[in-house]
């Protein structure tokens, strides 16, 4: 058996998305900015895609800016809104590197930044954000759903606090489609095509009308002068179709997987709040087991999962999210993320359970830490 349980890393492209994209890639090569018929054909498809995305985000087409993905959308939101070095920026300890690594750069150019911590539940406290605001705060950035542990963040509550304080709010909603309702009342919002069964290399920054956004790359006047560069029409078409096809995931398979593992494997724990969680994610730690080794063991058995660690410059760093939750580096390194998608089946889940039970047993026998 071969099965994929890493949908928070990326999702398979839906057949309907491929079907919509192939004729565009093959036949619609015009530059959407050209005034001749070839260009206009591309422009029409691009604007139709924009309308589809806008409808998914419950907003107007002119607020949709196509980007190369979630990373660029986050960068554009932060660098595009923060101006003078005095502008204070607030974000949280569990954001994706596409926000947290921007912070390093913001600090380097003189911005003050507050990183709000989280408790063991992995959910940001509204009052902590309220307390972090200053008269100079210009922007707050908060993710909707954490990519590692799946915790759902109080985006609209914090958006209300921001509105009352006259502060702009950005939401990294890359992991939200199909997990939670897309009803975020924020000024800026990021999406990524490849997390919702769409193509890679295309995303969106939704910019609410009236929000002053300075472009971060320079070139032509594309995307209403917010993001220059010849548009990726096929990518936009794919993203538009993917948005239309999003359906809410159910938690039953995740619950089946999690309760079987918690029941059959000793010293196995859920990371983050089990209730306020996206329905497709289970992040578990298996005491005495190295997460990376378990990922490899499961891969050999045909199951794709992810560890809670990120490889950087050859060394395996424990996940910053799990460390933010208060876990020790050792515990954080024993975590595995299972992220399910619409196509997973009961048989795959049951096969995965057997594979995890067997692999954990075997790895623990080899682990001096567990003995
Ligand atoms: C929460 C979150 N934000 C941003 C990104 C980056 O998106 P992209 O891969 O489209 O650049 C990801 C992807 O892992 C993510 O999970």
Compute CA 292 distance to the chain's CA centroid, rounded to the nearest angstrom. 21
188 and 254 in one domain? no
254 and 223 in one domain? no
Burial status of residue 197 (CB atoms within 10 A of its CB: 0-12, 13-18, 19 or more): buried
Kindly give, in sequence order, each residue whose CB lies less than 8 Å from that of residue 253, ignoring residues fewer than 6 positions away: 340, 344, 345, 346, 349
Cα separation, 237 vs 51, whole angstroms: 10
85 and 120 in one domain? yes
The reported pLDDT for the residue numbered 370 is 80
Global pTM value: 0.97
**Ligand 1 atom with minimal separation from the 192 CA:** 10
55 and 167 in one domain? yes
The reported pLDDT for the residue numbered 86 is 87
203 and 111 in one domain? yes
What are the 10-residue block averages of pLDDT along the chain, 371 residues in total?
96 98 98 98 98 98 98 98 92 98 95 97 98 98 98 98 98 98 98 98 98 96 96 98 97 98 98 98 96 97 88 73 97 97 97 98 89 71
Tokens of 91: 């974000």
The reported pLDDT for the residue numbered 314 is 55
Cα separation, 213 vs 320, whole angstroms: 30
Q: Whose CA is nearest to atom 16 of ligand 1?
A: 147
Instruction: Return the CATH number at 357.
Output: 3.90.1150.10
**Ligand 1 atom with minimal separation from the 193 CA:** 10
Q: Is 96 in the pocket of ligand 1 (CB under 6 A)?
A: yes
Helices assigned H by DSSP within the chain: 15-27, 37-56, 70-81, 97-108, 126-132, 155-165, 222-225, 233-245, 252-264, 291-300, 320-324, 329-332, 346-365
Q: Pocket of ligand 1, candidates 192, 193, 232, 320: which has the most ligand atoms within 8 Å of its Cβ, to mutate?
A: 192
Q: Evaluate whether residue 26 is within a structural domain.
A: yes
**How many residues are there in the chain?**
371
The reported pLDDT for the residue numbered 368 is 79
DSSP per residue, 171-204? EE-TT-TTTS------SEEEEEGGGTTS-TT-EE
Cα separation, 332 vs 315, whole angstroms: 14
Tokens of 190: 């990021």
For the chain, the first-to-last Cα distance in angstroms comes to 32
Burial status of residue 110 (CB atoms within 10 A of its CB: 0-12, 13-18, 19 or more): exposed
- Torsion, Cα 175 181 187 190, to 10 degrees, reads 20
- The CA 70 to ligand 1 mean position distance, Å, reads 5
- The CA 335 to ligand 1 mean position distance, Å, reads 20
Comparing C-alpha atoms, which of 85, 81, 275, 57 is closest to residue 181?
57
The reported pLDDT for the residue numbered 201 is 98
Q: Evaluate whether residue 3 is within a structural domain.
A: no
Compute CA 38 distance to the chain's CA centroid, rounded to the nearest angstrom. 35
207 and 316 in one domain? no
What are the φ and ψ backbone dihedral angles of 248, each rounded to 5 degrees? -70, 130
177 and 95 in one domain? yes
Comparing C-alpha atoms, which of 268, 284, 251, 29 is closest to residue 149?
284
Q: Is 175 in the pocket of ligand 1 (CB under 6 A)?
A: yes
Q: Are 279 and 249 in contact (CB under 8 A)?
A: yes
151 and 299 in one domain? no
Domain boundary residue, one of 199, 216, 245: 245
What amino acid positions are annotated as catalytic residues?
311
306 and 205 in one domain? no
Q: Is 75 in the pocket of ligand 1 (CB under 6 A)?
A: no
Instruction: Return the CATH number at 141.
Output: 3.40.640.10
Q: Evaluate whether residue 6 is within a structural domain.
A: no
215 and 120 in one domain? yes
Q: Evaluate whether residue 302 is within a structural domain.
A: yes
Q: Whose CA is nearest to atom 9 of ligand 1?
A: 70
Cα separation, 356 vs 268, whole angstroms: 11
Q: Is 95 in the pocket of ligand 1 (CB under 6 A)?
A: no
How many independent structural domains does the chain possess? 2
Buried b (16+ CB within 10 A) or exposed e, 18-51: eebbeebeeebebebeeeeeeeebbbebbeebbe
Q: Is 205 in the pocket of ligand 1 (CB under 6 A)?
A: no
CA distances from 146 to 46, 215, 276, 316, 318 (A): 30, 27, 11, 20, 16
- The CA 74 to ligand 1 mean position distance, Å, reads 9
DSSP per residue, 338-349? EE--TT--HHHH
Domain boundary residue, one of 206, 224, 245: 245
255 and 241 in one domain? no
The whole domain housing 273 covers 249-365
158 and 283 in one domain? no
Kindly give, in sequence order, each residue whose CB lies less than 8 Å from that of residue 351, ignoring residues fewer than 6 positions away: 1, 3, 303
Cα separation, 327 vs 339, whole angstroms: 21
Domain boundary residue, one of 245, 269, 301: 245
Q: Is 192 in the pocket of ligand 1 (CB under 6 A)?
A: yes
The reported pLDDT for the residue numbered 315 is 61
């Amino acid at each position: 058996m071969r099965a994929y349980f890493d949908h928070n890393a990326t999702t398979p492209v839906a057949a309907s998305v491929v079907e919509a994209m192939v004729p565009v890639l093959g036949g619609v090569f015009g530059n959407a900015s050209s005034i001749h018929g070839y260009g206009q054909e591309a422009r029409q498809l691009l604007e139709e895609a924009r309308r589809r995305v806008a409808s998914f985000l419950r907003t107007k087409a002119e607020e949709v800016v196509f980007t190369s993905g979630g990373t660029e959308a986050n960068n554009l939101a932060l660098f595009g809104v923060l101006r003078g070095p005095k502008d204070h920026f607030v974000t949280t300890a569990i954001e994706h590197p596409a926000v947290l690594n921007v912070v390093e750069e913001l600090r380097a150019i003189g911005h003050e930044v507050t990183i709000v911590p989280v408790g063991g539940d992995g959910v940001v406290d509204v009052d902590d954000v309220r307390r972090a605001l200053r008269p100079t705060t210009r922007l707050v950035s908060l993710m909707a759903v954490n990519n590692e542990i799946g915790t759902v963040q109080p985006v609209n509550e914090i958006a209300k606090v921001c509105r009352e304080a006259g502060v702009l709010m950005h939401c990294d909603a890359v992991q939200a489609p199909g997990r939670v309702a897309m009803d975020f009342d924020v000024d800026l919002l990021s999406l990524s095509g490849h997390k919702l069964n769409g193509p890679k290399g295309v995303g969106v920054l939704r910019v609410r009308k009236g929000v002053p956004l300075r472009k971060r790359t320079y070139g032509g006047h594309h995307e209403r002068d917010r993001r220059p560069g010849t548009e990726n029409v096929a990518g936009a078409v794919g993203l538009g179709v993917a948005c239309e096809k999003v359906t809410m995931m159910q938690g039953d398979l995740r619950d089946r997987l999690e309760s079987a593992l918690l029941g059959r494997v000793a010293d196995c724990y859920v990371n983050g709040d089990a209730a306020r969680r996206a329905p497709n994610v289970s992040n578990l730690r298996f005491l005495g087991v190295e997460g990376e080794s378990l990922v490899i063991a499961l891969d050999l058995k045909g199951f794709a999962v992810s560890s809670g660690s990120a490889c950087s410059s050859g060394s395996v760093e424990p996940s910053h999210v799990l460390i933010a939750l208060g876990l020790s580096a050792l515990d954080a390194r024993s975590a595995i993320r299972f992220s399910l998608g619409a196509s997973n089946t009961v048989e795959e889940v049951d096969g995965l359970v057997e594979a995890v039970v067997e692999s954990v047993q075997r790895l623990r026998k080899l682990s001096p830490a567990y003995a």
